[in-house]
Amino acid sequence: MNLNSFVASFKHCNRKHLSNSSPVSKLQLLVFFLLAVFLSATASAQDQTVKLIHADSLIGYTVGGISYRELIGHVTMQHENTTLKCDRAVQNITEDRIDLYGDVKVTDDTLTFLTKQARYFGKTRTVASDSAVYLNDRRRTLTADRGTYDSQTKVAQFYGNVFVRDSVSQLRAEQLVFYRNEGKTIADGDVNIKSLQNNVTVFGSHFENYDKKNFSLMKGSPLLVQIDTTSDGKIDTLLITSQTMEAYRDTAIERFIARDSVQVIRGSLSARCGYGTYFSNDSLVVLQEKPVVWYEDNQLTGDSVAVYIRDKKISRVDVVGAAFAVSQSDSIYADRFNQLKGKKLTMYLLDSKVDRIIVENNATSLYYLYDKNEPNGINKVSGDRVVMYFKDGKVDRIAVISGVEGDYFPEKMVKGKISSYNLVGFTYFKNRPKKADFPKSWK
């Protein structure tokens, strides 16, 4: 009698007959019940057993009280939803362990795990390989020096030269853990992930990705690199580094957020701030939390700074809130700085050179004069709008529009008292980032 027929017959027992039965009948009922439990447990155990589907040949033997069977040629085995295929297998029946050799293929619903040699643990439904491994789960492919996959928890772990590629990115790391059910990936050790859509690569030592949230996080001195070639053939590289870096893909616009000790370099532009956002689709960098931006000999500060990149060149820099521009008036006179301040400032560039700086709302300029390369005092002018024009990287002239007020201070008043003439809020920073300060991982 099989389990199903037994249960069916058991259900149709006459309850009245059983209630009036003799002790012997009650004993029979108890035996029936215990037998049902035993058969149920046996059927469950059989479902969890690794089943042999096919092998060209089979040899059974016992060594030291442990039962083995060796399977050779086109081996196929099934364990619940997991299928094992290989050229040769040695099954340790006693310990529920199988050694797989030659073109090993393990499939678990949509996932495929390939290697040349592996060991399968039946109790935990885990396959482990110390040989080169390949994984494909339809959405991505992965290679590594070795790895394991647990078909019960749906967790895969890989070590050594890990390389992952999907339709939009590729990742390299020393080790990686992939949680299939959660759509989560954790990678460590010399991590770099490259976007195939915009040529952005982020380097770091610890990486986390959450597919369901369209969110990624990089820690361990993260560095963002985007290498562009301008229309004139020059290589122009954007570098951003910080303490942590996040990527968001929850909208049509992909954005990277750098937090804490942010540094930026792009051509002649350098910057520092506490919080930065890079919109890769729009080629826009927004800097906040005490941003300082340097372009050639000009320093810009304010509450917020936006750097616009057009045709792979910086085209404009906007400063909003407590905007301040500083540029050295002459290299010989290192303590004399031309200054502009107002509520809003815009610096326009032409052919990668500063063309003009416009300051609006309570605009004030301080400009050092020279006569035949000799100092000749200071002009201080204010108005609704001030425009400072540049030529060959130096201030050429200044135009003040509406509500003009101005003062001239002759050199005899200025000499020896330079700092007292600086505009309120003036600060000259000397910690300009250099490429040499950035991690060398991207080179």
Give the type of residue at 266.
R
pTM of the full structure: 0.82
List the pLDDT tens digit at each of the 443 positions of the chain: 444 444 444 444 444 444 444 444 554 544 444 444 343 333 344 446 899 999 999 999 999 999 999 999 999 999 999 999 999 999 999 999 999 999 999 999 889 999 999 999 999 999 999 999 999 998 899 999 999 999 999 999 999 999 999 988 999 999 999 999 999 999 999 999 998 888 899 999 999 999 999 999 999 999 999 887 665 666 778 999 999 999 998 777 789 999 999 999 998 999 999 999 999 877 899 999 999 999 988 999 999 999 998 888 899 999 999 999 999 898 899 999 999 999 999 999 998 899 999 999 889 999 999 998 899 999 999 999 999 898 887 888 889 998 889 999 999 999 999 999 999 999 999 999 998 888 776 66
CA distances from 66 to 9, 46, 69, 124 (A): 40, 20, 10, 20
According to DSSP, the residues that pair with 85 across neighbouring strands are 76, 105
Q: How far apart are CA 25 and CA 121, in angstroms?
A: 45
Would you state the pLDDT for residue 107? Answer: 96
Q: How far apart are CA 209 and CA 169, in angstroms?
A: 12
Would you state the pLDDT for residue 128? Answer: 98
Give the type of residue at 241.
T
Q: How far apart are CA 134 and CA 115, in angstroms?
A: 6
For residue 371, give both structure tokens: 């006569």
Phi, psi of 317 (to 5 degrees): -130, 125
DSSP 115-137: EEEEEEETTTTEEEESS-EEEE-
Strands 269-279 and 146-150, by their bridges, are: unpaired
Identify the structural domains of the chain with CATH numbers, from first to last: 3-47 (no CATH), 51-164 (2.60.450.10), 237-247+255-436 (2.60.450.10)
Taking the alpha carbons at both ends of the chain, their separation in whole angstroms is 73
The sign of the dihedral angle between the CA atoms of 412, 417, 421, 422 is positive
Q: How far apart are CA 388 and CA 394, in angstroms?
A: 10
